[in-house]
Amino acid sequence: MSGELEGRVAVVTGGSRGIGLGIARELAEAGARVALVARNGDRAAEAAATLSGEGHGGFACDVSNAAAVKETVAAIESSLGPVFLLVNNAGITRDNILLRLQDEDWDEVIDVNLKGAFNFTRALTRGMMKRREGVIVNITSVVGLMGNAGQSNYAASKAGLVGLTKSVARELASRGIRCNAVAPGYVRTDMTSELTEEQTSALLSQIPLGRLGDPEDIAPVVRFLAGPGGRYITGQVIAVDGGMVM
């Protein structure tokens, strides 16, 4: 297979299902060897086995655990090689109205969604800096740009990712590293499977393109940012949301 990411190694956190698996599929189509990271390592390995091409792998790791991330990065680099592309996609929700949010709902969401991205970025950028090349794509959300009632913890984590993206982009541009964020709107995955019909129709009324998204709508944008077409783009947040935010 030949593609613009031929011979490149990519890490996709939360790659075992949903948007992350869609991204992993697209990167594999572009020729990358992909490391899929999730807490459930068996599921990540099963997902890796479904990707096109050879040399992919599944890795069990909780992104919020800095020591585990360091070990996982070492394991990925020793089995797949130096990492060119990092996609910080692992994310969770623990929704509730502000007054009912528990400390652990706040901490868990910030630890996985925001600190997890920091953990992987810090662990991988040393090598990228030495090689003077690398790409980071953080998966934020339109909710991080607009806010959302009942999701203050999640929205704060996703807005935090925007600040992380822009700071990393400024700090590491001179070392040949680009960092951008993709902000999906509402995408059909396990995360959104519990929307009622009423919630879905309320959402649809806010989406000019008139439908919810699928992982396949998000993945090509990550591929574009990682490839040669994205070479002069850094520090940007690209909404892929059917027009919800404009």
List the catalytic residues. Answer: 154
Q: For residue 177, report the phi and psi dihedrals to the nearest 5 degrees.
A: -110, 130
DSSP one-letter code for 90: -
Query: Which of 3, 9, 10, 16 contacts ligand NAP by CB under 6 A?
Result: 16
Give the span between the Cα atoms of 147 and 227, in whole angstroms: 31
Q: To the nearest whole angstrom, how small is the minimum distance from the Cβ of residue 184 to ligand NAP?
A: 4
Say whether residue 94 binds ligand NAP (CB under 6 A).
no
Nearest residue (CB) to ligand NAP, 37 versus 85: 37
Nearest residue (CB) to ligand NAP, 3 versus 189: 189
Q: To the nearest whole angstrom, how small is the minimum distance from the Cβ of residue 38 to ligand NAP?
A: 3
Q: Which two tokens stand for residue 166?
A: 């822009």
With vertex at residue 20, the alpha carbon angle to CA 208 and CA 183, rounded to the nearest 5 degrees, is 35
From the list 27-35, 85-93, 120-128, 170-178, the region that binds ligand NAP by CB under 6 A is 85-93
Give the span between the Cα atoms of 136 and 80, in whole angstroms: 18
Cα 182 from chain centre: 8
Q: To the nearest whole angstrom, how small is the minimum distance from the Cβ of residue 131 to ligand NAP?
A: 25
Give the span between the Cα atoms of 69 and 75, in whole angstroms: 10
Q: Which of residues 105-134 bind ligand NAP (CB under 6 A)?
A: 112
DSSP string, 108-127: HHHIIIIIHHHHHHHHHHHH
From the list 18-26, 96-104, 166-174, 195-203, the region that binds ligand NAP by CB under 6 A is 18-26
DSSP one-letter code for 16: T
Give the span between the Cα atoms of 45 and 34, in whole angstroms: 11
Nearest residue (CB) to ligand NAP, 40 versus 167: 40
Q: Which of residues 181-240 bind ligand NAP (CB under 6 A)?
A: 184, 186-187, 189-192
Say whether residue 58 binds ligand NAP (CB under 6 A).
no
Q: Are 179 and 237 in contact (CB under 8 A)?
A: no
Q: To the nearest whole angstrom, how small is the minimum distance from the Cβ of residue 17 to ligand NAP?
A: 5
Paired residues of 136 in beta bridges: 86, 179
Binding characters for ligand NAP, 138-167, by CB under 6 A (x = yes) = -x-x--------------------------
Provide the binding-site residues for ligand NAP, judged by CB under 6 A: 13-14, 16-20, 37-40, 43, 62-64, 89-92, 112, 139, 141, 184, 186-187, 189-192
